Chain A
Amino acid sequence: MARLQLKNINKRWGDFVGVKDLNLDIADEEFLVLLGPSGCGKSTTMRMIAGLEGVSEGEILLGDQVVNHLPPKDRDISMVFQSYGLYPNLSVYENIRFPLRVRRVPKDQHDEMVMRAVRMVELEDFMHRRPAELSGGQRQRVALGRAIVRKPTVFLMDEPLSNLDAKLRVSTRAQIKNLQSKLKVTTVYVTHDQIEAMTLADRVVVMNAGEIQQVGTPTEIYNTPANTFVASFIGSPAMNLIDGRIDGGTFTAEGMTIKGLKTRHSGPVTLGFRAEDADVCEADGQITGPVYSVELLGDATMITWRQGGALVSIKTNKDYRAEIDQTVTGAIPTEICHLFDAQTGARIAQD
């Protein structure tokens, strides 16, 4: 029983609001990812769960218990920090054993538990080294090992991969996912990397400026972004967002027209579509103009136009070639278009 609930959480430092009206209900064994740009309050949220930071308003429930005033050591959690927070004077073995020692787990169980964790994070060969004698990836695995040495109610991980190089990040990501599904422990994972979020999460929480923007499965977040922030934050390249007007199902903006959108809404709107959903075409396209740039991505070619003040990109066949300033037409079918309110940025539903 390790449901974790955050009810109307607020965090303020003086006048500055770090986290605002945050509500989350995290199910047992769920892998929840907090995703957002740097400074949006992800770490703060996680640190409040851990008890490293006080809550200005609201309640945190771990199971059925309100834990607002419990110090970290009484919360039965474990946490992996961005820079690992290893004990530099202790060996790898002792680092991993540390939580057992200070939580008064009977001594005779230590070795077995530590060795199980050591094997899970594949550090058998480095047990007697000090953290300073390890590579970044190995240190990261020590931190991971220390977190899984006992079975806590909740795992917390604050950007655990951000100090690793790109290749190691991919393999460690897989390892974390694998460990979590084996251990079946509720996990809250913080990252600013959308790919990490998409690959790991059961549910993603997208945050910005201290507020939740959208909560949903990776697919939901990707397919139906709740607002322009989520739309532009998720996906690579970012979703094209074009300001224009809609009237009777026809969207118009400088240099482009899209007909047949299924909405009764009219007035100024923001239209969005993903570069990978659209394509170039010979004629009858929705956008036509001189090409601003042509980028070869390997698996695709990306064509970009200047549209008003913004850039609009479309991914197409990897063999497609065009010259800069050559006039090219792009096809933007209505099914791939998202509509957002021009003022609030909120999603406008289409039938």
Chain B
Amino acid sequence: MTHKEFMAFIWPSLLAMALFIAVPIISVAYQSMFVEHEQIMIETETCGPFGCTPEVAVDQDAMRKVREDSPAGRFNGLDTYTNSSHLATDEITEIVATSENFGEIRDRIMNLPFYKALIFTLSYTFIVTPLVIVFGFIIAVVVNSIPSFLKGPVIFFSLLPMIVTPLVGSLVLFWMIDSRGVVGAFLQYLFADPSLSLKASPTLTWVTLFVYGVWHSAPFAFVVFYAGLQTVPSDTLESSMVDGANRWEQIRFVVMPYLLPLATFVALMQLMDNFRIFEPIIGFSASASATSLSYLIYTDLREAETPLFGSAAATSMLTIIGVIILLLPVLFRNAREFNRKA
């Protein structure tokens, strides 16, 4: 295929990605260095029957003009990145200087919005991902061993939690774990504690979100591993049987090594997807105890009066950097493999 033919085929796709993925990233980088215009105040006199009183109000006309002149706001350099709702460098310095012990440092940092979100995002990513792989694998192995007429229905229902919209899926669970819902009531009965509520404690909220994450993604790992199990080389598996391996040893020495590349694939997909955890926080109304980077951006943009574009953009940039760090090992591996092939 010549360069020209290649371009003829691929340009619409490249254009779409350039315009709506690459340019927005640049736009975000640009916006992150600006903040909203300061309010321009104007003093007016309100005159009533009892004389005139001076009043200070926002000069809407002037504001509109300034906004039109420079819609991104005023230049702020990297200050947004370091302010208290992002990296909070000053606050961190102070916390480290004035805190007595590590526990206190941790607690105080957890109160900074960006770090609170970052820590939850990372915890979610790195707890849910391995659990998904483990559960998916176990389900796949067990389903593979049951009578075959059960397999179809099992796969059918297993797909549901994964296919269903995350917001919808989390709402379905949320209503069930509500203290008036069936699971909530059951837990109260189980622990003999009528006041038990999963929403009340931050820890329980985190656990709930993790459980949701595993419930939502385990089917994906299951399906991938299950498909992989169908292609385990029977020669090797049978060799191990004849060699004397028991059921567990067959899994340990033949099946697991064979599925390892699939596990890497699942891990990669899950890292990417879990790092952008967002809808469940809304679905579970969990923002009081758990926020994520994506959620921070969302609330900045949803700010009722004027969206905080600068702040959202700075968080976005930090998130993008996070994603790239997450992907670095994969990128290196791919590049190495490509170079070896070339």
The answer to whether A binds B is yes
B244 & A86 in contact (Cβ 8 Å cutoff):
no
Complex Cα spacing A79 to B243, Å: 8
B246 & A102 in contact (Cβ 8 Å cutoff):
yes
Render A91-102 as a binary contact track against B, CB cut-off 8 A, 1 for contact: 000000011001
B76 at the A interface (CB under 8 A): no
> In the assembled complex, which residues on chain B have CB atoms less than 8 Å from the CB atom of A98?
240, 243, 245, 253
5 additional A-B pairs beyond A99-B243, A146-B239, beta carbons within 8 Å, are A84-B235, A87-B239, A87-B253, A89-B257, A102-B244
Q: Which partner residue on chain B sits nearest A105 by CB separation?
A: B244
Complex Cα spacing A98 to B242, Å: 11
| Min CB–CB distance B93 → chain A (angstroms) | 49
> In the assembled complex, which residues on chain B have CB atoms less than 8 Å from the CB atom of A102?
240, 243-246, 249, 253
Complex Cα spacing A143 to B240, Å: 12
Q: A73-B244, A73-B246 in contact; A88/B236 too (CB < 8 A)?
A: yes
Complex Cα spacing A52 to B235, Å: 11
B242 & A77 in contact (Cβ 8 Å cutoff):
yes
Q: Which of A82, A86, A89, A102 has the most CB of B within 10 A?
A: A102
Complex Cα spacing A286 to B128, Å: 86
Give A residues with C-beta under 8 Å from B: 50-52, 71-73, 75, 77-79, 81-90, 98-99, 102-103, 143, 146, 156
> In the assembled complex, which residues on chain A have CB atoms less than 8 Å from the CB atom of B71?
none
Q: Which partner residue on chain B sits nearest A149 by CB separation?
A: B243
B236 & A85 in contact (Cβ 8 Å cutoff):
yes
A87 & B233 in contact (Cβ 8 Å cutoff):
no
Render B214-243 as a binary contact track against A, CB cut-off 8 A, 1 for contact: 000000000000000000010111111111
B245 & A73 in contact (Cβ 8 Å cutoff):
yes
B241 & A52 in contact (Cβ 8 Å cutoff):
yes
| Min CB–CB distance A281 → chain B (angstroms) | 53
Q: A83-B235, A85-B235 in contact; A78/B242 too (CB < 8 A)?
A: yes
Number of interface residues of B (CB under 8 A): 19
Q: Which partner residue on chain A sits nearest B260 by CB separation?
A: A89
B254 & A87 in contact (Cβ 8 Å cutoff):
yes
> In the assembled complex, which residues on chain A have CB atoms less than 8 Å from the CB atom of B233?
83, 85
> In the assembled complex, which residues on chain A have CB atoms less than 8 Å from the CB atom of B244?
72-73, 99, 102-103
Q: Which partner residue on chain A sits nearest B253 by CB separation?
A: A87
Complex Cα spacing A89 to B233, Å: 13
| Min CB–CB distance B198 → chain A (angstroms) | 42
B235 & A73 in contact (Cβ 8 Å cutoff):
no
> In the assembled complex, which residues on chain B have CB atoms less than 8 Å from the CB atom of A88?
236, 257-258
Complex Cα spacing A284 to B202, Å: 109
Give B residues with C-beta under 8 Å from A: 233, 235-246, 249, 253-254, 257-258, 260
Complex Cα spacing A177 to B238, Å: 24
| Min CB–CB distance A11 → chain B (angstroms) | 17
Q: Which partner residue on chain B sits nearest A143 by CB separation?
A: B239
Q: Which of B240, B243, B258, B260 has the most CB of A within 10 A?
A: B243
Q: List 28 A-B contacts (CB under 8 A).
A: A52-B238, A52-B241, A72-B238, A72-B241, A72-B244, A73-B242, A73-B246, A77-B242, A78-B243, A79-B239, A79-B242, A81-B239, A83-B233, A83-B235, A84-B235, A85-B233, A85-B236, A85-B238, A88-B236, A89-B260, A98-B240, A98-B245, A98-B253, A99-B244, A102-B243, A102-B246, A102-B253, A103-B244
| Min CB–CB distance B214 → chain A (angstroms) | 28
Tell me which of B235, B240, B246, B249 contacts A82 (CB under 8 A). Answer: B235
> In the assembled complex, which residues on chain A have CB atoms less than 8 Å from the CB atom of B237?
85
Q: A87-B254, A89-B257, A98-B253 in contact; A81/B243 too (CB < 8 A)?
A: no
Complex Cα spacing A86 to B239, Å: 8
| Min CB–CB distance B303 → chain A (angstroms) | 53
Complex Cα spacing A170 to B200, Å: 77
> In the assembled complex, which residues on chain B have CB atoms less than 8 Å from the CB atom of A73?
241-246
Complex Cα spacing A88 to B237, Å: 12
Q: Which partner residue on chain B sits nearest A86 by CB separation?
A: B236
The 7 closest A-B pairs by CB, nearest first: A85-B239, A85-B235, A89-B257, A99-B243, A103-B244, A72-B241, A73-B244
Complex Cα spacing A79 to B235, Å: 11
> In the assembled complex, which residues on chain B have CB atoms less than 8 Å from the CB atom of A78?
242-243
> In the assembled complex, which residues on chain B have CB atoms less than 8 Å from the CB atom of A83?
233, 235
> In the assembled complex, which residues on chain B have CB atoms less than 8 Å from the CB atom of A146?
239, 243
Q: A87-B253, A98-B253 in contact; A71/B241 too (CB < 8 A)?
A: yes
Complex Cα spacing A69 to B257, Å: 29
> In the assembled complex, which residues on chain A have CB atoms less than 8 Å from the CB atom of B245?
73, 98, 102
> In the assembled complex, which residues on chain A have CB atoms less than 8 Å from the CB atom of B235?
81-85
| Min CB–CB distance B249 → chain A (angstroms) | 5
> In the assembled complex, which residues on chain A have CB atoms less than 8 Å from the CB atom of B236?
85-88
Q: Which of A50, A75, A84, A87 has the most CB of B within 10 A?
A: A87
> In the assembled complex, which residues on chain B have CB atoms less than 8 Å from the CB atom of A84?
235, 239
> In the assembled complex, which residues on chain A have CB atoms less than 8 Å from the CB atom of B253?
87, 90, 98, 102
| Min CB–CB distance B340 → chain A (angstroms) | 14
| Min CB–CB distance B183 → chain A (angstroms) | 42
> In the assembled complex, which residues on chain A have CB atoms less than 8 Å from the CB atom of B241?
51-52, 71-73
B246 & A72 in contact (Cβ 8 Å cutoff):
no
> In the assembled complex, which residues on chain A have CB atoms less than 8 Å from the CB atom of B240?
85, 87, 98, 102
Q: Which partner residue on chain A sits nearest B249 by CB separation?
A: A102
Q: Which of B239, B245, B249 has the most CB of A within 10 A?
A: B239
A81 & B254 in contact (Cβ 8 Å cutoff):
no
| Min CB–CB distance A35 → chain B (angstroms) | 22
Q: Which of A75, A85, A90, A143 has the most CB of B within 10 A?
A: A85
Complex Cα spacing A83 to B239, Å: 10
| Min CB–CB distance A215 → chain B (angstroms) | 25
| Min CB–CB distance A60 → chain B (angstroms) | 15
Q: Which of A72, A82, A86 has the most CB of B within 10 A?
A: A72
Complex Cα spacing A51 to B244, Å: 12
Q: Which partner residue on chain B sits nearest A47 by CB separation?
A: B238
B242 & A52 in contact (Cβ 8 Å cutoff):
yes
Complex Cα spacing A51 to B249, Å: 17
Q: Which of B239, B242, B254 has the most CB of A within 10 A?
A: B242
| Min CB–CB distance A242 → chain B (angstroms) | 43
